[in-house]
Every structure is written in structure tokens, then in C-alpha cells.
Amino acid sequence: MDSALLSIITSFILNNESKIFDPNINPITNGSWYKPIPGTSWQWQLQGTINTAYNVDIYDIDLFDSSQELRKELKESGKKVICYFSAGSYENWRDDKSKFSKSLLGNPLDGWAGER
């Protein structure tokens, strides 16, 4: 992440901190987005070839390691799709790794080889 972007993000957080972290603000409960209910079945698979044979309601898969075709196939079969991504962390196997300034990389994440 370059310093200009980091500055923008930091400014946003500092200027909106009271709004973001205020425990007295009620969560948004209305809207037309999908809201799974307790007991909704799901498959969480972030590595390897995604096994689409599970009879579940939701698939949670890696955004960058899954194809658009796979996501479309899952949606067309009636599944909801959640795409995992690690926002703001450096992962040395990702296509965007060259966009991270070496001076801004933190320490390695414990238990996650190649991630900082």
C-alpha cells in the first residue's frame, strides 16, 4: 500500500472514529441484502479445487483463487457466495504483491507463511 493511500485510510478512520466504533449506534437491520439465518449450511474452502458437491446454502471461497466462472456456477445453482479476501495484508503469492511498499510491510503473521 503506498503512503498516499495509507494517509487517506488513516484520515478516514480518525475523522469517523466516533461513528465507526460507537457502541450506542444500532446496527442496520433493514435492506434487501441476503441475511442468513442461524442454522444456514455453508462450506468454507480457501485452498485447492473447490468441491461444489456439498449440499449447502453458502460457499465461502477465496476471491483471488476462485474463477469468475466458478462463482457464477455456484450462484446459478442457487448457492450464495461469500468471497474471502485479506484487506490490507501482504501475501507473497498474490498478484498484487508488487503494489505493497517494502517500507510499510509489517512483521510476518504468526502461523501464516508469506503473509505480513
Q: Is residue 51 part of a domain?
A: yes
How crowded is residue 59: how many other Cβ atoms within 10 Å of its Cβ?
A: 24
- The three cell numbers of residue 32 are 434487501
Q: Is residue 58 part of a domain?
A: yes
Residue with cell 442468513: 36
Give 103's pLDDT tier (boundaries 50, 70, 90). confident
Q: CA-CA distance, 106 to 108, in Å (whole number)?
A: 7
Please report whether residue 94 resides in a domain: no
Q: Is residue 109 part of a domain?
A: no
pTM attached to this predicted model: 0.63
Q: What is the pLDDT of residue 73?
A: 96
How many independent structural domains does the chain possess?
1
- Domain extent at residue 26: 3-89
CA 45 – CA 26 distance, rounded (Å): 32
- Give all strands of the β-sheet with 58-62 in edge-to-edge order: 42-45, 58-62, 80-84
Encode pLDDT of 41-100 as tens digits. 999 999 899 999 999 999 999 998 899 999 999 999 999 999 988 887 888 988 888 888
